[in-house]
Structure 1
């Protein structure tokens, strides 16, 4: 059974997420369960999801679902801006509502950092080394 599409292709926030996520080495996009997800060998970011629990209609259509760095996870769980996404929370995933796509870049820096951390937790070590080498070359 296929899932209905649960995102707007024209959403400016999705375009910003794509720009960030697809810049990582080996990153690609696919639609899974009706939502975009970004992956290498494993998914590192979903766009949109729902909240854990009995919340009828507790959808977060403009959110990212990420795997935080294990060192940062306890602090992020205390931050009220984060939520436990349905189905993924037992594996350490968290959700974060993103700003509208047309807000200034400064408001997107935290989003980029969260996606970067999730990429580093899920991507193969060779791709993380490639990412780090790019950063050194850019300095």
Structure 2
């Protein structure tokens, strides 16, 4: 069994978890020591590593997501965003999180990633919910 790559009581993880698990059909599992949120496929990881000056650095306070290609290219210009190790070649991006994080933005990125992976039925459930209650539910 791999070691945990995160602190279980991390308040930033709690906020990411609340956003991800709030989506229709979403569940959580551990993938190589990282929390991963999924329906039929993973749509969000917490705490992925990345290379800095040729060396891998663990970054426990990041959120990783998939985006449509045009939005992915735009996000790569943001200094908070990087291509994570291992999953990056498959289109994933990661964003650093801290106490000043814009959680509405994180909620939007997680929802976009969810829509890339969840399938039509679950995306339609999310659409219906958003029609009834516009805007993401943001955790405290």
Instruction: Kindly indicate whether residue 128 of structure 2 is the aligned counterpart of residue 128 of structure 1.
Output: no
SS of aligned partner of 1:60 = coil
Backbone CA RMSD of aligned residues: 1.5
Rounded to whole Å, the distance in 2 between the matches of 1:30 and 1:48 is: 13
Shift of 1:71: 2.5
Q: TM-score, normalising length from structure 2?
A: 0.89
1:98 corresponds to which residue? Answer: 97
Runs of 4+ deviating beyond 4 Å: none
Shift of 1:11: 0.6
Shift of 1:52: 4.1
Listed as ranges, the gaps of 5+ residues in structure 1 are none
Rounded to whole Å, the distance in 1 between the matches of 2:51 and 2:113 is: 20
- Equivalent pair of 1:52/1:87 in contact (CA under 8 Å): no
Instruction: Kindly indicate whether residue 133 of structure 2 is the aligned counterpart of residue 138 of structure 1.
Output: yes
Q: TM-score, normalising length from structure 1?
A: 0.89
1:77-96 to structure 2, matched below 5 A, reads: 77-96=76-95
2:55 corresponds to which residue? Answer: 55
Rounded to whole Å, the distance in 1 between the matches of 2:108 and 2:88 is: 20
2:137 corresponds to which residue? Answer: none
2:39 corresponds to which residue? Answer: 40
Report the number of matched residues. Answer: 133
Instruction: Kindly indicate whether residue 112 of structure 2 is the aligned counterpart of residue 112 of structure 1.
Output: no
Rounded to whole Å, the distance in 2 between the matches of 1:52 and 1:86 is: 7
Shift of 1:61: 0.5
1:74 corresponds to which residue? Answer: 73
